[in-house]
A and B are shown apart, each in its own frame.
Chain A
Amino acid sequence: MKQSRARTFRLEADVDEAIARLAMEDRASVSQIANRALKKYVEWDRAPTNRGLISVPSMLLVRLMAELNEERAHELGRWAGKELFLPNIMAGYPTMSLERAEKSIRMLGTYGGRFTFDHASEGGKHVFTIGQKMGRNWSAYYAGALEVIFERFLGRATRKTFSENMCVVEFRARPSS
Protein backbone atom coordinates (compact mmCIF):
# COMPACT_ATOMS: atom_id res chain seq x y z
CA MET A 1 0.00 0.00 0.00
CA LYS A 2 1.26 3.47 -0.86
CA GLN A 3 2.45 5.64 1.99
CA SER A 4 1.13 9.17 2.13
CA ARG A 5 1.43 12.32 4.17
CA ALA A 6 -0.68 15.40 4.74
CA ARG A 7 0.58 18.74 3.49
CA THR A 8 -1.13 22.11 3.74
CA PHE A 9 -1.04 24.46 0.75
CA ARG A 10 -2.02 28.07 0.30
CA LEU A 11 -4.02 28.09 -2.96
CA GLU A 12 -5.68 30.88 -4.89
CA ALA A 13 -9.43 30.76 -4.30
CA ASP A 14 -10.39 30.18 -7.95
CA VAL A 15 -8.01 27.21 -8.21
CA ASP A 16 -9.25 25.71 -4.97
CA GLU A 17 -12.87 26.03 -6.06
CA ALA A 18 -12.15 24.57 -9.49
CA ILE A 19 -10.37 21.53 -8.02
CA ALA A 20 -13.25 20.92 -5.66
CA ARG A 21 -15.60 21.07 -8.67
CA LEU A 22 -13.45 18.62 -10.66
CA ALA A 23 -13.39 16.25 -7.69
CA MET A 24 -17.18 16.30 -7.53
CA GLU A 25 -17.50 15.68 -11.26
CA ASP A 26 -15.06 12.76 -11.07
CA ARG A 27 -16.51 11.42 -7.81
CA ALA A 28 -13.04 11.50 -6.33
CA SER A 29 -11.48 13.31 -3.39
CA VAL A 30 -9.69 16.62 -3.86
CA SER A 31 -6.51 14.87 -2.69
CA GLN A 32 -6.84 12.20 -5.40
CA ILE A 33 -7.32 14.81 -8.12
CA ALA A 34 -4.41 16.91 -6.83
CA ASN A 35 -2.15 13.86 -6.48
CA ARG A 36 -2.62 12.88 -10.12
CA ALA A 37 -1.95 16.42 -11.33
CA LEU A 38 1.12 16.86 -9.13
CA LYS A 39 2.51 13.45 -10.09
CA LYS A 40 2.18 14.35 -13.76
CA TYR A 41 3.84 17.70 -13.17
CA VAL A 42 6.85 16.36 -11.28
CA GLU A 43 7.36 13.30 -13.48
CA TRP A 44 6.69 14.77 -16.89
CA ASP A 45 7.92 18.31 -16.51
CA ARG A 46 11.50 17.16 -15.90
CA ALA A 47 11.51 14.13 -18.19
CA PRO A 48 13.99 14.23 -21.11
CA THR A 49 11.24 12.67 -23.25
CA ASN A 50 9.23 15.85 -22.78
CA ARG A 51 11.93 18.12 -24.22
CA GLY A 52 10.88 19.82 -27.45
CA LEU A 53 7.32 18.56 -27.23
CA ILE A 54 4.46 20.88 -28.01
CA SER A 55 0.70 20.37 -27.77
CA VAL A 56 -1.51 20.04 -30.81
CA PRO A 57 -4.99 18.70 -31.53
CA SER A 58 -4.78 15.03 -32.54
CA MET A 59 -7.10 15.83 -35.41
CA LEU A 60 -4.37 17.98 -36.98
CA LEU A 61 -1.88 15.12 -36.71
CA VAL A 62 -4.33 12.74 -38.36
CA ARG A 63 -4.83 15.14 -41.28
CA LEU A 64 -1.14 15.85 -41.73
CA MET A 65 -0.11 12.21 -41.58
CA ALA A 66 -2.83 11.28 -44.06
CA GLU A 67 -0.92 13.27 -46.69
CA LEU A 68 1.96 10.79 -46.54
CA ASN A 69 1.95 7.25 -47.86
CA GLU A 70 2.65 4.34 -45.52
CA GLU A 71 6.27 4.06 -46.59
CA ARG A 72 6.99 7.72 -45.91
CA ALA A 73 5.20 7.51 -42.55
CA HIS A 74 7.40 4.54 -41.65
CA GLU A 75 10.53 6.41 -42.74
CA LEU A 76 9.49 9.45 -40.71
CA GLY A 77 9.12 7.14 -37.70
CA ARG A 78 12.63 5.73 -38.26
CA TRP A 79 13.98 9.27 -38.48
CA ALA A 80 12.15 10.28 -35.28
CA GLY A 81 13.39 7.12 -33.53
CA LYS A 82 16.98 7.94 -34.36
CA GLU A 83 16.98 11.73 -34.03
CA LEU A 84 14.42 12.34 -31.29
CA PHE A 85 13.48 9.25 -29.26
CA LEU A 86 16.97 7.81 -28.82
CA PRO A 87 18.74 11.00 -27.75
CA ASN A 88 15.99 11.52 -25.16
CA ILE A 89 16.14 7.94 -23.90
CA MET A 90 19.93 8.13 -23.70
CA ALA A 91 20.04 11.57 -22.08
CA GLY A 92 22.43 11.41 -19.17
CA TYR A 93 23.33 7.73 -19.67
CA PRO A 94 26.36 6.23 -21.45
CA THR A 95 24.59 3.12 -22.75
CA MET A 96 21.16 2.02 -23.85
CA SER A 97 19.05 -0.40 -21.84
CA LEU A 98 15.75 -2.10 -22.47
CA GLU A 99 14.38 -0.90 -19.14
CA ARG A 100 15.20 2.73 -19.86
CA ALA A 101 13.74 2.53 -23.36
CA GLU A 102 10.55 1.02 -21.97
CA LYS A 103 10.24 3.65 -19.24
CA SER A 104 10.68 6.52 -21.71
CA ILE A 105 8.21 5.13 -24.23
CA ARG A 106 5.68 4.40 -21.51
CA MET A 107 5.99 7.93 -20.11
CA LEU A 108 5.57 9.46 -23.56
CA GLY A 109 2.44 7.37 -24.02
CA THR A 110 1.00 8.18 -20.60
CA TYR A 111 1.58 11.92 -20.64
CA GLY A 112 1.89 12.71 -24.37
CA GLY A 113 -1.58 11.29 -24.88
CA ARG A 114 -1.01 9.86 -28.35
CA PHE A 115 -0.82 6.17 -27.59
CA THR A 116 -1.02 3.42 -25.00
CA PHE A 117 1.92 1.13 -24.51
CA ASP A 118 2.32 -2.44 -23.37
CA HIS A 119 5.31 -4.75 -22.99
CA ALA A 120 5.05 -8.48 -22.49
CA SER A 121 7.89 -10.96 -22.29
CA GLU A 122 8.09 -14.72 -22.04
CA GLY A 123 10.98 -17.07 -22.57
CA GLY A 124 13.26 -14.33 -23.87
CA LYS A 125 10.72 -13.08 -26.38
CA HIS A 126 9.63 -9.45 -25.98
CA VAL A 127 6.47 -8.01 -27.48
CA PHE A 128 5.93 -4.24 -27.49
CA THR A 129 2.48 -3.01 -28.44
CA ILE A 130 1.41 0.53 -29.17
CA GLY A 131 -2.31 1.20 -29.38
CA GLN A 132 -3.48 4.44 -30.97
CA LYS A 133 -6.48 5.97 -32.71
CA MET A 134 -4.92 8.16 -35.38
CA GLY A 135 -4.85 5.75 -38.30
CA ARG A 136 -2.63 3.23 -40.07
CA ASN A 137 0.09 5.70 -41.04
CA TRP A 138 0.67 6.52 -37.39
CA SER A 139 1.01 2.79 -36.68
CA ALA A 140 3.64 2.66 -39.45
CA TYR A 141 5.35 5.67 -37.88
CA TYR A 142 5.58 4.01 -34.44
CA ALA A 143 6.75 0.76 -36.00
CA GLY A 144 9.61 2.68 -37.63
CA ALA A 145 10.55 4.41 -34.38
CA LEU A 146 10.50 1.19 -32.32
CA GLU A 147 12.50 -0.69 -34.96
CA VAL A 148 15.30 1.84 -34.79
CA ILE A 149 15.37 1.81 -31.01
CA PHE A 150 15.51 -1.94 -30.66
CA GLU A 151 17.51 -2.92 -33.74
CA ARG A 152 20.12 -0.29 -34.01
CA PHE A 153 20.80 0.48 -30.40
CA LEU A 154 19.95 -2.73 -28.61
CA GLY A 155 21.29 -4.75 -31.53
CA ARG A 156 18.27 -6.97 -31.83
CA ALA A 157 16.42 -7.90 -35.00
CA THR A 158 12.73 -7.09 -34.80
CA ARG A 159 9.55 -8.25 -36.47
CA LYS A 160 6.83 -5.67 -36.91
CA THR A 161 3.11 -5.92 -37.53
CA PHE A 162 0.82 -2.96 -37.75
CA SER A 163 -2.80 -2.15 -38.43
CA GLU A 164 -5.17 0.83 -38.28
CA ASN A 165 -5.00 1.12 -34.49
CA MET A 166 -2.07 -0.94 -33.39
CA CYS A 167 1.61 -1.53 -33.90
CA VAL A 168 3.39 -4.60 -32.56
CA VAL A 169 7.16 -5.00 -32.54
CA GLU A 170 8.68 -8.29 -31.39
CA PHE A 171 12.23 -9.40 -30.76
CA ARG A 172 14.06 -12.17 -28.98
CA ALA A 173 16.57 -11.19 -26.30
CA ARG A 174 20.08 -12.56 -26.39
CA PRO A 175 20.54 -15.42 -23.91
CA SER A 176 22.85 -13.27 -21.78
CA SER A 177 20.46 -10.31 -21.47
Chain B
Amino acid sequence: MRVTFLAVAFSAAVVSLAASPQKPAPPAGPSRAFLQLFDQYRRGSPAPAIGSFARWTEDRVKAEAMLPPGVDDSASLQALALFHTDAGIANDRFGMFAAKSPNYLMLGGWGLESVFEVHSLTAYRTVETLIARGKATNDLDLLRFAQQWYIVALSFCTRGGEPVKVENLFPQKPTLANLPAEETTAATGRPHCVLGLKDKAQHYFDDDPEVQLLLGSLVEPRVMRRSVLENTKVEVTYGQEARWYFKKALEGDPSLIEAAVRRARVLHIGLNYPEAQPMLEHALAAARASDNTFIAHLAAFSLGQLHEDHDEMETAIRYYREAVSLIRAHTASIALGQALIRTGQTTEGWLVGARMFGREGSGAAPIPDPFVLYRYAQYWQLDERLSVLRDMVRGR
Protein backbone atom coordinates (compact mmCIF):
# COMPACT_ATOMS: atom_id res chain seq x y z
CA MET B 1 0.00 0.00 0.00
CA ARG B 2 1.30 3.41 -0.89
CA VAL B 3 0.69 6.08 1.67
CA THR B 4 0.91 9.77 0.94
CA PHE B 5 4.02 11.77 1.64
CA LEU B 6 2.29 13.60 4.49
CA ALA B 7 1.13 10.39 6.05
CA VAL B 8 4.61 8.97 5.80
CA ALA B 9 6.14 12.07 7.30
CA PHE B 10 3.61 12.13 10.11
CA SER B 11 4.02 8.45 10.82
CA ALA B 12 7.76 8.72 10.79
CA ALA B 13 7.53 11.54 13.28
CA VAL B 14 5.20 9.58 15.55
CA VAL B 15 7.33 6.47 15.28
CA SER B 16 10.41 8.41 16.05
CA LEU B 17 8.69 10.06 19.05
CA ALA B 18 7.46 6.70 20.24
CA ALA B 19 10.84 5.16 19.92
CA SER B 20 13.12 7.99 21.04
CA PRO B 21 12.78 8.53 24.81
CA GLN B 22 15.40 7.09 27.15
CA LYS B 23 17.33 4.69 25.03
CA PRO B 24 18.55 1.92 27.32
CA ALA B 25 22.14 0.83 27.13
CA PRO B 26 22.60 -2.03 24.68
CA PRO B 27 22.60 -5.42 26.42
CA ALA B 28 25.99 -6.96 26.97
CA GLY B 29 25.13 -10.41 25.69
CA PRO B 30 22.72 -13.28 25.82
CA SER B 31 21.72 -14.93 29.08
CA ARG B 32 22.60 -18.52 29.78
CA ALA B 33 18.88 -19.37 29.86
CA PHE B 34 18.41 -18.04 26.36
CA LEU B 35 21.45 -19.85 24.99
CA GLN B 36 20.18 -23.11 26.46
CA LEU B 37 16.76 -22.64 24.87
CA PHE B 38 18.31 -21.58 21.58
CA ASP B 39 20.54 -24.61 21.54
CA GLN B 40 17.60 -26.88 22.34
CA TYR B 41 15.66 -25.24 19.49
CA ARG B 42 18.49 -25.79 17.02
CA ARG B 43 19.71 -29.19 18.05
CA GLY B 44 17.19 -30.77 20.40
CA SER B 45 13.42 -30.81 20.64
CA PRO B 46 12.14 -27.47 19.33
CA ALA B 47 8.58 -27.52 20.73
CA PRO B 48 9.46 -27.15 24.44
CA ALA B 49 12.02 -24.47 23.60
CA ILE B 50 9.43 -22.51 21.62
CA GLY B 51 6.90 -22.90 24.43
CA SER B 52 9.31 -21.59 27.07
CA PHE B 53 10.60 -18.72 24.95
CA ALA B 54 7.04 -17.69 24.06
CA ARG B 55 6.29 -17.13 27.75
CA TRP B 56 9.12 -14.68 28.29
CA THR B 57 8.18 -11.03 28.81
CA GLU B 58 9.08 -8.52 26.14
CA ASP B 59 11.59 -6.86 28.46
CA ARG B 60 13.28 -10.14 29.16
CA VAL B 61 13.46 -11.00 25.49
CA LYS B 62 15.02 -7.62 24.75
CA ALA B 63 17.55 -8.00 27.55
CA GLU B 64 18.57 -11.63 27.11
CA ALA B 65 17.65 -13.02 23.68
CA MET B 66 20.51 -12.37 21.30
CA LEU B 67 23.46 -14.07 19.73
CA PRO B 68 26.75 -13.99 21.60
CA PRO B 69 29.11 -11.15 20.61
CA GLY B 70 31.02 -12.02 17.47
CA VAL B 71 28.55 -14.66 16.30
CA ASP B 72 26.82 -13.57 13.13
CA ASP B 73 27.09 -16.53 10.77
CA SER B 74 24.10 -16.97 8.48
CA ALA B 75 23.01 -20.29 10.01
CA SER B 76 22.79 -18.71 13.47
CA LEU B 77 20.97 -15.68 12.15
CA GLN B 78 18.46 -17.87 10.32
CA ALA B 79 17.86 -19.91 13.47
CA LEU B 80 17.48 -16.74 15.54
CA ALA B 81 14.94 -15.27 13.10
CA LEU B 82 12.93 -18.46 13.07
CA PHE B 83 13.09 -18.98 16.84
CA HIS B 84 11.60 -15.51 17.33
CA THR B 85 9.00 -16.19 14.64
CA ASP B 86 7.99 -19.47 16.25
CA ALA B 87 7.76 -17.86 19.70
CA GLY B 88 5.72 -14.90 18.42
CA ILE B 89 3.30 -17.22 16.67
CA ALA B 90 3.08 -19.48 19.72
CA ASN B 91 2.14 -16.62 22.05
CA ASP B 92 -0.07 -15.13 19.32
CA ARG B 93 1.58 -11.70 19.48
CA PHE B 94 3.55 -11.86 16.26
CA GLY B 95 2.81 -8.77 14.17
CA MET B 96 1.11 -6.84 16.96
CA PHE B 97 2.30 -3.60 18.49
CA ALA B 98 4.56 -3.80 21.52
CA ALA B 99 3.10 -3.07 24.94
CA LYS B 100 2.77 0.69 25.59
CA SER B 101 2.92 1.51 21.89
CA PRO B 102 0.50 4.12 20.55
CA ASN B 103 -2.77 2.53 19.50
CA TYR B 104 -2.79 3.71 15.94
CA LEU B 105 -0.01 4.62 13.61
CA MET B 106 -0.17 5.14 9.88
CA LEU B 107 2.53 2.65 9.20
CA GLY B 108 3.03 0.75 6.05
CA GLY B 109 5.25 0.04 3.16
CA TRP B 110 8.64 0.14 4.77
CA GLY B 111 8.69 -2.89 7.00
CA LEU B 112 8.14 -3.31 10.72
CA GLU B 113 9.22 -0.55 13.08
CA SER B 114 10.31 -0.38 16.68
CA VAL B 115 6.70 -0.13 17.84
CA PHE B 116 6.09 -3.78 16.96
CA GLU B 117 6.40 -6.54 19.52
CA VAL B 118 9.84 -7.90 20.03
CA HIS B 119 9.64 -11.30 18.32
CA SER B 120 8.27 -10.08 14.99
CA LEU B 121 10.54 -7.04 14.99
CA THR B 122 13.68 -9.03 15.76
CA ALA B 123 12.79 -11.68 13.20
CA TYR B 124 12.08 -9.03 10.57
CA ARG B 125 15.36 -7.19 11.20
CA THR B 126 17.33 -10.40 11.14
CA VAL B 127 15.71 -11.44 7.87
CA GLU B 128 16.62 -8.01 6.45
CA THR B 129 20.24 -8.73 7.30
CA LEU B 130 20.03 -12.15 5.67
CA ILE B 131 18.49 -10.72 2.49
CA ALA B 132 21.26 -8.13 2.23
CA ARG B 133 23.85 -10.85 2.75
CA GLY B 134 22.13 -13.22 0.32
CA LYS B 135 22.03 -10.57 -2.37
CA ALA B 136 25.62 -9.55 -1.81
CA THR B 137 26.89 -13.11 -2.03
CA ASN B 138 24.22 -14.42 -4.40
CA ASP B 139 23.33 -17.03 -1.78
CA LEU B 140 20.09 -18.51 -3.14
CA ASP B 141 19.47 -20.61 -0.02
CA LEU B 142 19.45 -17.52 2.15
CA LEU B 143 17.10 -15.74 -0.22
CA ARG B 144 14.85 -18.80 -0.32
CA PHE B 145 14.73 -18.82 3.47
CA ALA B 146 13.80 -15.12 3.51
CA GLN B 147 11.15 -15.60 0.84
CA GLN B 148 9.55 -18.43 2.81
CA TRP B 149 9.71 -16.33 5.99
CA TYR B 150 7.73 -13.57 4.27
CA ILE B 151 5.03 -16.03 3.23
CA VAL B 152 4.75 -17.36 6.78
CA ALA B 153 4.80 -13.94 8.43
CA LEU B 154 2.29 -12.35 6.08
CA SER B 155 -0.08 -15.31 6.12
CA PHE B 156 -0.02 -15.38 9.91
CA CYS B 157 -0.73 -11.65 10.10
CA THR B 158 -3.81 -11.97 7.91
CA ARG B 159 -5.48 -14.03 10.64
CA GLY B 160 -6.25 -13.16 14.24
CA GLY B 161 -6.62 -9.85 16.01
CA GLU B 162 -9.36 -7.29 15.72
CA PRO B 163 -11.65 -7.24 12.68
CA VAL B 164 -10.73 -4.45 10.32
CA LYS B 165 -12.64 -3.28 7.31
CA VAL B 166 -10.91 -4.46 4.18
CA GLU B 167 -11.43 -1.16 2.40
CA ASN B 168 -9.32 0.51 5.09
CA LEU B 169 -6.57 -1.87 4.24
CA PHE B 170 -6.89 -1.73 0.48
CA PRO B 171 -8.74 1.53 -0.26
CA GLN B 172 -7.75 1.47 -3.89
CA LYS B 173 -10.15 -1.40 -4.54
CA PRO B 174 -13.19 0.38 -5.96
CA THR B 175 -15.14 -2.84 -6.41
CA LEU B 176 -15.40 -3.29 -2.67
CA ALA B 177 -16.93 0.08 -1.99
CA ASN B 178 -20.56 -0.86 -2.58
CA LEU B 179 -20.59 -4.13 -0.72
CA PRO B 180 -22.55 -4.72 2.48
CA ALA B 181 -20.39 -4.03 5.51
CA GLU B 182 -20.45 -7.61 6.72
CA GLU B 183 -18.87 -8.79 3.50
CA THR B 184 -15.85 -6.56 3.87
CA THR B 185 -15.29 -7.05 7.56
CA ALA B 186 -13.91 -9.99 9.43
CA ALA B 187 -11.29 -10.71 6.87
CA THR B 188 -8.12 -9.21 8.11
CA GLY B 189 -6.17 -9.79 11.26
CA ARG B 190 -3.15 -7.60 11.90
CA PRO B 191 -3.28 -4.95 9.19
CA HIS B 192 -0.22 -2.99 10.27
CA CYS B 193 1.91 -6.08 10.06
CA VAL B 194 0.42 -6.90 6.65
CA LEU B 195 0.97 -3.35 5.45
CA GLY B 196 4.48 -3.32 6.80
CA LEU B 197 5.53 -6.53 5.11
CA LYS B 198 3.48 -6.68 1.92
CA ASP B 199 5.37 -4.03 -0.04
CA LYS B 200 8.66 -5.39 1.23
CA ALA B 201 7.79 -8.86 -0.03
CA GLN B 202 6.82 -7.35 -3.35
CA HIS B 203 10.05 -5.37 -3.49
CA TYR B 204 12.33 -8.31 -2.76
CA PHE B 205 10.53 -11.20 -4.43
CA ASP B 206 8.24 -9.75 -7.06
CA ASP B 207 9.22 -12.30 -9.69
CA ASP B 208 8.77 -15.33 -7.43
CA PRO B 209 5.61 -17.37 -8.23
CA GLU B 210 4.92 -18.29 -4.60
CA VAL B 211 5.15 -14.65 -3.55
CA GLN B 212 2.94 -13.67 -6.47
CA LEU B 213 0.38 -16.16 -5.19
CA LEU B 214 0.73 -14.64 -1.72
CA LEU B 215 0.34 -11.06 -2.99
CA GLY B 216 -2.66 -12.05 -5.07
CA SER B 217 -4.23 -13.70 -2.04
CA LEU B 218 -3.71 -10.53 0.00
CA VAL B 219 -5.43 -8.25 -2.51
CA GLU B 220 -8.11 -10.75 -3.54
CA PRO B 221 -11.65 -9.48 -2.85
CA ARG B 222 -13.06 -11.15 0.24
CA VAL B 223 -16.42 -11.80 -1.37
CA MET B 224 -17.02 -15.53 -0.96
CA ARG B 225 -20.44 -15.87 -2.59
CA ARG B 226 -21.75 -14.59 -5.89
CA SER B 227 -25.17 -13.79 -4.41
CA VAL B 228 -23.59 -10.97 -2.40
CA LEU B 229 -23.01 -9.07 -5.63
CA GLU B 230 -26.54 -9.44 -6.99
CA ASN B 231 -27.41 -5.79 -6.37
CA THR B 232 -23.93 -4.41 -6.89
CA LYS B 233 -22.54 -2.99 -10.09
CA VAL B 234 -19.40 -4.98 -10.66
CA GLU B 235 -16.74 -3.42 -12.87
CA VAL B 236 -14.68 -5.53 -15.24
CA THR B 237 -11.71 -4.50 -13.16
CA TYR B 238 -13.05 -6.63 -10.31
CA GLY B 239 -10.15 -8.37 -8.61
CA GLN B 240 -7.89 -7.31 -11.46
CA GLU B 241 -4.70 -7.01 -9.43
CA ALA B 242 -5.29 -10.35 -7.74
CA ARG B 243 -6.06 -12.03 -11.06
CA TRP B 244 -2.87 -10.61 -12.53
CA TYR B 245 -0.80 -11.97 -9.66
CA PHE B 246 -2.42 -15.41 -9.93
CA LYS B 247 -1.82 -15.50 -13.66
CA LYS B 248 1.83 -14.56 -13.20
CA ALA B 249 2.21 -17.16 -10.47
CA LEU B 250 0.83 -19.87 -12.74
CA GLU B 251 3.02 -18.81 -15.64
CA GLY B 252 6.03 -19.04 -13.36
CA ASP B 253 5.02 -22.30 -11.73
CA PRO B 254 2.12 -24.27 -13.23
CA SER B 255 2.15 -26.60 -10.21
CA LEU B 256 0.73 -23.80 -8.02
CA ILE B 257 -2.82 -25.08 -8.40
CA GLU B 258 -4.02 -22.84 -5.58
CA ALA B 259 -3.42 -19.83 -7.87
CA ALA B 260 -5.64 -21.41 -10.52
CA VAL B 261 -8.44 -22.03 -8.00
CA ARG B 262 -8.20 -18.49 -6.66
CA ARG B 263 -8.17 -16.97 -10.15
CA ALA B 264 -11.17 -19.03 -11.19
CA ARG B 265 -13.06 -18.08 -8.04
CA VAL B 266 -12.51 -14.36 -8.66
CA LEU B 267 -13.60 -14.77 -12.27
CA HIS B 268 -16.75 -16.61 -11.30
CA ILE B 269 -17.83 -14.82 -8.14
CA GLY B 270 -17.13 -11.32 -9.37
CA LEU B 271 -17.65 -11.57 -13.10
CA ASN B 272 -19.45 -14.85 -13.82
CA TYR B 273 -16.98 -15.55 -16.63
CA PRO B 274 -17.52 -18.97 -18.26
CA GLU B 275 -13.80 -19.81 -18.32
CA ALA B 276 -13.94 -20.24 -14.54
CA GLN B 277 -15.57 -23.66 -14.89
CA PRO B 278 -12.89 -25.37 -17.05
CA MET B 279 -10.20 -23.75 -14.92
CA LEU B 280 -11.70 -25.25 -11.78
CA GLU B 281 -12.23 -28.64 -13.41
CA HIS B 282 -8.61 -28.68 -14.49
CA ALA B 283 -7.48 -27.57 -11.04
CA LEU B 284 -9.55 -30.31 -9.39
CA ALA B 285 -8.01 -32.98 -11.60
CA ALA B 286 -4.50 -31.63 -11.04
CA ALA B 287 -4.97 -31.37 -7.28
CA ARG B 288 -6.30 -34.92 -7.12
CA ALA B 289 -3.41 -36.19 -9.21
CA SER B 290 -0.91 -34.55 -6.87
CA ASP B 291 -2.74 -35.64 -3.69
CA ASN B 292 -3.30 -32.05 -2.69
CA THR B 293 -6.44 -32.69 -0.67
CA PHE B 294 -6.89 -29.16 0.57
CA ILE B 295 -6.86 -27.62 -2.91
CA ALA B 296 -8.88 -30.49 -4.38
CA HIS B 297 -11.51 -29.83 -1.71
CA LEU B 298 -11.52 -26.10 -2.53
CA ALA B 299 -11.76 -26.77 -6.27
CA ALA B 300 -14.64 -29.23 -5.85
CA PHE B 301 -16.39 -26.90 -3.43
CA SER B 302 -15.97 -23.95 -5.82
CA LEU B 303 -17.38 -26.02 -8.68
CA GLY B 304 -20.36 -26.79 -6.47
CA GLN B 305 -20.85 -23.08 -5.85
CA LEU B 306 -20.52 -22.31 -9.55
CA HIS B 307 -23.12 -24.86 -10.58
CA GLU B 308 -25.45 -23.84 -7.76
CA ASP B 309 -25.19 -20.22 -8.94
CA HIS B 310 -26.24 -21.48 -12.37
CA ASP B 311 -29.18 -23.40 -10.84
CA GLU B 312 -27.64 -26.73 -11.82
CA MET B 313 -28.39 -28.28 -8.48
CA GLU B 314 -27.75 -31.90 -9.36
CA THR B 315 -24.23 -31.12 -10.55
CA ALA B 316 -23.69 -28.79 -7.62
CA ILE B 317 -24.61 -31.57 -5.20
CA ARG B 318 -22.23 -33.94 -6.97
CA TYR B 319 -19.32 -31.52 -6.47
CA TYR B 320 -20.28 -30.69 -2.90
CA ARG B 321 -20.34 -34.43 -2.19
CA GLU B 322 -16.86 -34.72 -3.65
CA ALA B 323 -15.62 -31.84 -1.47
CA VAL B 324 -17.09 -33.45 1.67
CA SER B 325 -15.62 -36.82 0.76
CA LEU B 326 -12.17 -35.19 0.58
CA ILE B 327 -12.48 -33.19 3.81
CA ARG B 328 -15.61 -33.28 5.94
CA ALA B 329 -15.31 -29.59 6.71
CA HIS B 330 -18.14 -27.51 8.13
CA THR B 331 -18.74 -25.20 5.19
CA ALA B 332 -18.75 -27.89 2.52
CA SER B 333 -21.12 -29.92 4.69
CA ILE B 334 -23.41 -26.93 5.05
CA ALA B 335 -23.27 -26.37 1.29
CA LEU B 336 -24.14 -29.98 0.60
CA GLY B 337 -26.79 -30.15 3.33
CA GLN B 338 -28.63 -27.02 2.21
CA ALA B 339 -28.50 -28.09 -1.45
CA LEU B 340 -30.01 -31.47 -0.55
CA ILE B 341 -32.72 -29.90 1.60
CA ARG B 342 -33.61 -27.30 -1.02
CA THR B 343 -34.04 -30.05 -3.58
CA GLY B 344 -36.37 -32.04 -1.36
CA GLN B 345 -33.81 -34.48 0.07
CA THR B 346 -34.52 -33.23 3.56
CA THR B 347 -33.56 -36.22 5.66
CA GLU B 348 -30.12 -36.62 4.14
CA GLY B 349 -29.57 -32.88 4.15
CA TRP B 350 -30.03 -32.51 7.90
CA LEU B 351 -28.00 -35.64 8.51
CA VAL B 352 -25.07 -34.20 6.53
CA GLY B 353 -25.35 -31.08 8.70
CA ALA B 354 -25.31 -33.06 11.94
CA ARG B 355 -22.37 -35.20 10.85
CA MET B 356 -20.11 -32.25 10.10
CA PHE B 357 -19.30 -31.85 13.78
CA GLY B 358 -17.87 -35.35 14.08
CA ARG B 359 -16.78 -35.83 17.69
CA GLU B 360 -16.32 -32.14 18.42
CA GLY B 361 -18.91 -32.21 21.20
CA SER B 362 -16.73 -34.65 23.11
CA GLY B 363 -13.74 -32.34 22.93
CA ALA B 364 -12.20 -33.41 19.62
CA ALA B 365 -10.67 -30.60 17.58
CA PRO B 366 -12.73 -29.48 14.59
CA ILE B 367 -11.62 -30.44 11.14
CA PRO B 368 -9.83 -27.44 9.55
CA ASP B 369 -12.21 -25.75 7.15
CA PRO B 370 -10.60 -24.78 3.82
CA PHE B 371 -13.39 -22.29 3.07
CA VAL B 372 -12.61 -20.39 6.28
CA LEU B 373 -8.84 -20.64 5.91
CA TYR B 374 -9.03 -19.54 2.28
CA ARG B 375 -9.52 -15.93 3.41
CA TYR B 376 -6.13 -15.87 5.12
CA ALA B 377 -3.67 -16.24 2.24
CA GLN B 378 -1.42 -19.28 2.78
CA TYR B 379 -2.25 -19.59 6.47
CA TRP B 380 -3.52 -23.09 5.75
CA GLN B 381 0.09 -24.13 5.08
CA LEU B 382 1.53 -22.42 8.15
CA ASP B 383 2.55 -25.55 10.06
CA GLU B 384 4.00 -27.18 6.98
CA ARG B 385 5.98 -24.10 5.98
CA LEU B 386 7.29 -23.56 9.50
CA SER B 387 8.36 -27.17 9.57
CA VAL B 388 10.25 -26.76 6.29
CA LEU B 389 11.94 -23.61 7.60
CA ARG B 390 12.93 -25.41 10.81
CA ASP B 391 14.47 -28.19 8.73
CA MET B 392 16.55 -25.52 7.00
CA VAL B 393 17.98 -24.13 10.24
CA ARG B 394 18.12 -27.02 12.67
CA GLY B 395 21.19 -29.15 13.10
CA ARG B 396 23.48 -26.60 11.51
Q: Do A and B bind each other?
A: no
Residues of B within 8 A of A (CB): none
